[in-house]
Amino acid sequence: MLLLVLVSRGASASPSLRVSHVQFSGKVLNRADGTYAALKPLAEAMGVRVLTSGFGLWVGSEPPDPMPAVEAGRVMVGDQKLVVVEDPDGEDFVQAESFCRAIGGIVHWHDAELDLSPPPQKDHGPRVISSGASQLKRRDPSTFFFQ
């Protein structure tokens, strides 16, 4: 499944952020240093989790053991620490393009829109189909025929 996040680049009063061509449910802030999106809804849309780690936050699919100590005002994404901006309501925001790159996502600019896609899902090998006592791997063409 490929998700597409669209962010409007420009000086609009209310920046547009879309996930799979549906309006993004989180808040978006347009700042001089980039477009920021609410961290938790953006992470959810990109297929990763947000957890507290030390005084800061950690983002990824599977939490490491032990969790790294992250300082306040930062979020650890992969091996990078990104700045977290807090709005007056206490919601955490990250720079959308940097966040996408840090999780291994794909970033494309198309005219005035930023297209963000999450990283491709990993191939977990051939699908195993159970057939009684034996198991057949579908990558072998001979398994498609009765013998």
pLDDT digits (tens, 9 = 90+) for 24-83: 678 888 888 888 999 999 999 888 999 999 999 999 988 888 999 999 999 999 889 999
Gap between the Cα atoms of 64 and 35, Å rounded: 29
Query: By the 8 A CB rule, do 41 and 28 touch?
Result: no
Of 96, 42, 53, 49, nearest to 75 by C-alpha is 53
Query: pLDDT above 70 covers what percent of the chain?
Result: 60
Gap between the Cα atoms of 43 and 78, Å rounded: 13
Tell me, what's the pLDDT at 95?
A: 93
Tell me, what's the pLDDT at 51?
A: 95
**pLDDT tier for residue 13 given thresholds of 50, 70 and 90:** very low
Place of tokens 């699908």: 127
Query: By the 8 A CB rule, do 18 and 8 touch?
Result: no
Instruction: Give Cα 145 to chain centroid, integer Å.
Output: 41
**pLDDT tier for residue 11 given thresholds of 50, 70 and 90:** very low
58 vs 138: which has the higher pLDDT? 58
